[in-house]
């Protein structure tokens, strides 16, 4: 089973929830934690895995053989991403804009383009207790995160609970992280910004046809707008974590909330149970 943990905005406590869920689930079974927030992976600060493997993740880019090029301009015409510019004396490649579709090297009439490689980041993996841990680290300044996210997700383990920590927001990297999940947890906070971005995230997940539920983090007892939103969308509100200074202090030092308040483990066990029931329903229907 794959459970994605997402949020419409950053700073809602997505990683707090995903790591605590993994720690509680690992008490009973096999867990694989996939940190797909590749621009700012930080789950390792809480889970503290012993990393044992590293692998470069690369994407295809065109390499121009200028001697064979006739400057016909066909490659620039077919590139939907404007990654190629035909100048009077050469073809220039803007690699960071290339999506590796292969159109240019397949259609170059002179056979002057060959596929090369460009590294976009690193994937690291290891163990933290019973949890298999994988995360991606996108190179600084790199914009092409979906291939790295997909590479991390390919490490999902059969027969395990695979927890995907998605990037915040609702853009392409988030879609790459959550697509294919059996269930998506949407973590929000009881603020107008939290509610606004929860709505965007819910729309995205709904378009992908993934069943989802909501977790309110830092609940201050004034969650009515989120409750109303969930009620009108028939969206289950699965857990509330209260605003708690000790938890915030612990988080700042890389300590998960269930270590600060062991009684909170019960909340996460119930959350896990609710997810299993809902994801199971979806699996049974499909
Ligand atoms: S399509 Fe091939 S021959 Fe034409 S400009 Fe591009 S690289 Fe040169
Ligand atoms: S591989 Fe595709 S995206 Fe990249 S430069 Fe060629 S046509 Fe453009």
Average pLDDT over residues 263-281: 88
- Nearest CA-CA partner of 188 in 150, 161, 228, 156: 228
> Using CA atoms, how far apart are residues 105 and 178, in angstroms rounded to an integer?
31
For 176-224, the pLDDT digits (tens) are: 999 999 999 999 999 999 999 999 999 999 999 999 999 999 998 889 9
Same domain? For 210 and 149 the reply is yes
Contact 104, 84 (CB under 8 A): yes
Same domain? For 136 and 250 the reply is yes
Question: For the domain that residue 236 is a member of, what is the CATH number?
Answer: 3.40.50.300
pLDDT band at 280 (very low <50, low <70, confident <90, very high): low
- At 277 the pLDDT is 87
Least confidently predicted of 68-72, 75-79, 80-84, 221-225: 221-225
Q: Residue 89 C-alpha to ligand 1 middle, in angstroms?
A: 11
Give the domain extent around 228.
2-56+122-285
Average pLDDT over residues 135-152: 95
Q: Which protein residue's CA is at the shortest distance from atom 2 of ligand 2?
A: 101
Atom of ligand 2 nearest to the CA of 60: 1
Q: Which protein residue's CA is at the shortest distance from atom 6 of ligand 1?
A: 75
Any ligand 1 atom below 6 A from CB of 74: yes
Average pLDDT over residues 31-52: 96
Contact 160, 139 (CB under 8 A): no
> Using CA atoms, how far apart are residues 37 and 136, in angstroms rounded to an integer?
7
Return the ligand number nearest the Cα of 144. Answer: 2
Looking at the domain assignment, is residue 117 inside a domain?
Answer: no
Tell me the average pLDDT of the chain: 93
Beta strands 183-188 and 212-219 are: parallel
Contact 260, 246 (CB under 8 A): yes
Average pLDDT over residues 144-150: 95
Same domain? For 146 and 90 the reply is no
Atom of ligand 1 nearest to the CA of 111: 2
* pLDDT at position 171 over 70: yes
Average pLDDT over residues 143-170: 95
Kindly give, in sequence order, each residue whose CB lies less than 8 Å from that of residue 245, ignoring residues fewer than 6 positions away: none
Which CA distances in Å does 141 have to 44, 138, 269? 22, 8, 39
* pLDDT at position 282 over 80: no
Same domain? For 226 and 255 the reply is yes
Average pLDDT over residues 11-36: 94
Same domain? For 156 and 83 the reply is no
* pLDDT at position 263 over 90: yes
Same domain? For 103 and 225 the reply is no
- At 100 the pLDDT is 92
Question: At 256, phi and psi to the nearest 5?
Answer: -70, 150
Report residue 144 as tokens.
């092409």
Q: Residue 86 C-alpha to ligand 1 middle, in angstroms?
A: 8
Atom of ligand 2 nearest to the CA of 80: 8
Number of domains observed in the structure of the chain: 2
Atom of ligand 2 nearest to the CA of 78: 7
Any ligand 1 atom below 6 A from CB of 69: yes
- At 278 the pLDDT is 84
- Other Cβ atoms closer than 10 A to 259: 15
């Amino acid at each position: 089973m794959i459970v994605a943990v997402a949020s419409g905005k950053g700073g809602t406590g997505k990683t707090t929830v995903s790591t605590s869920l993994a720690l509680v689930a690992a008490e009973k079974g096999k867990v694989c934690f996939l940190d797909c927030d590749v621009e700012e992976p930080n789950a390792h600060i809480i889970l503290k895995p012993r990393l044992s493997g590293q692998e470069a993740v690369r994407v295809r880019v065109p390499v121009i053989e200028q001697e064979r090029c006739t400057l016909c301009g066909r490659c620039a015409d077919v590139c939907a991403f404007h990654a190629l510019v035909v100048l009077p004396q050469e073809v220039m490649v803007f690699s960071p804009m290339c999506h590796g579709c292969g159109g240019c090297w397949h259609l170059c009439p002179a056979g002057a383009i060959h596929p090369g490689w460009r590294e976009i980041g690193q994937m690291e993996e290891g163990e933290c207790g019973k949890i298999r841990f994988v995360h991606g680290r996108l190179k600084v300044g790199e914009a092409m995160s979906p291939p790295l996210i997909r590479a991390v997700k390919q490490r999902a383990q059969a027969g395990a609970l695979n927890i995907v920590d998605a990037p915040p927001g609702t853009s392409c990297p988030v879609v790459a992280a959550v697509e294919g999940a059996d269930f998506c947890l949407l973590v929000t906070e009881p603020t107008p910004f939290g509610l606004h971005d929860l709505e965007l995230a819910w729309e995205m997940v709904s378009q992908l046809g993934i069943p989802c539920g909501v977790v309110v983090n830092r609940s201050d007892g004034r969650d009515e707008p989120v409750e109303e939103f969930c009620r009108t969308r028939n969206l289950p509100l699965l857990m509330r974590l209260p605003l708690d200074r000790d938890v915030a202090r612990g988080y700042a030092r890389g300590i998960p909330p269930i270590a600060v308040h062991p009684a909170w483990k019960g909340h996460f066990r119930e959350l896990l149970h609710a997810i299993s029931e809902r994801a199971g329903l979806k699996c049974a229907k499909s």
